[in-house]
Chains A and B, each alone.
Chain A
């Protein structure tokens, strides 16, 4: 009787795509918990909206493409996209806007290119970027921590930093203002810590490798530290940048989307460093408070070029 697999190897490690996706969702739980603690139940509701929309859109797209829906839905990849988008947008965002963003992410950024494994751009970031550019006002309304259901117009740390700098306060004066806690913003730093915890969990479970997260964080921290050293009044330091905005979420969850990242480990170092650097540049001089989304999309564009020059040496080729 022939063995179960038609040809060797006959043993496998037991990693599967659904398991990978489930681990990522699990690692996002701390971030969700912190957001709910700070802003009440809205982030959870948004997550549910995004998840349902994502599943519905994926089923629709598969049907239109003539593929079987059940096996593809079961792999859980679209849930990760939905979760990342839901956790990245402000908690006060109207639910139908988030649904729209999710639909764009799943239908346009994923299925228009061929579905799982074929998207050149990070789908969650495409959704986020479309929302940000189309609805800039709603996307920058952040409730103050603890406000719960009452949406008070507040500002994130990066918002405040940007506007404050535009009005020529110094770094020290801005950091002393009410939006800031000890290091980052009150609230923002906790989200980043939770994302860091989830990211370290993923590293320990070998779901992701260290190259992209470390490269993103170094790419963000080094220019920030250098600039802070050269001109402390105009630039905040590495610690601030690492603890604010979507830095940790981006490094461990968003940039590590394997489909749209560079292929080889060496290429991924370049890819991650580029994301970190671009994030810092956009934050310092760009028109948007947080640069992670656009940095990721720009580096997604650069992936074919990076891949071309980072093919590893094959055994037997000259060193």
Chain B
């Protein structure tokens, strides 16, 4: 290529690059995904256990943290590998194993109160984030297994250690309508 054509060629290439880059940037800013709807979409993929194992007080705060980039997608042991993969696909990232420092991945469990040992102190009732324990002071407490998410937040408050975790048998979910009545 002679000197005469080098500079115009370079100029043309640079000009094209600038034009295309500007066009891409414009499109990206115009079509930016609504931040709120991203949090919704991430939250929809989380298991809603509300267990705080991810160090956030519930699934929605964790979803917000992922959306803002503050937290990574591998912090949810109840969601397990399936949730990490779904999040990775949504956000366009590489899936990875659940980080063990946030808890072990286990099969689904539900809480069960040993009625022989329960003293009716009602300390576990407010601990449940989904109000799945029924009871009253000095009345027997019981966990509604269909509504228990396995978050284990009721275990620490119990003074007699009468709550244990048992594997979840395949139960059909009652649905929000049933929760209205409950």
A and B touch in the complex (CB under 8 A): no
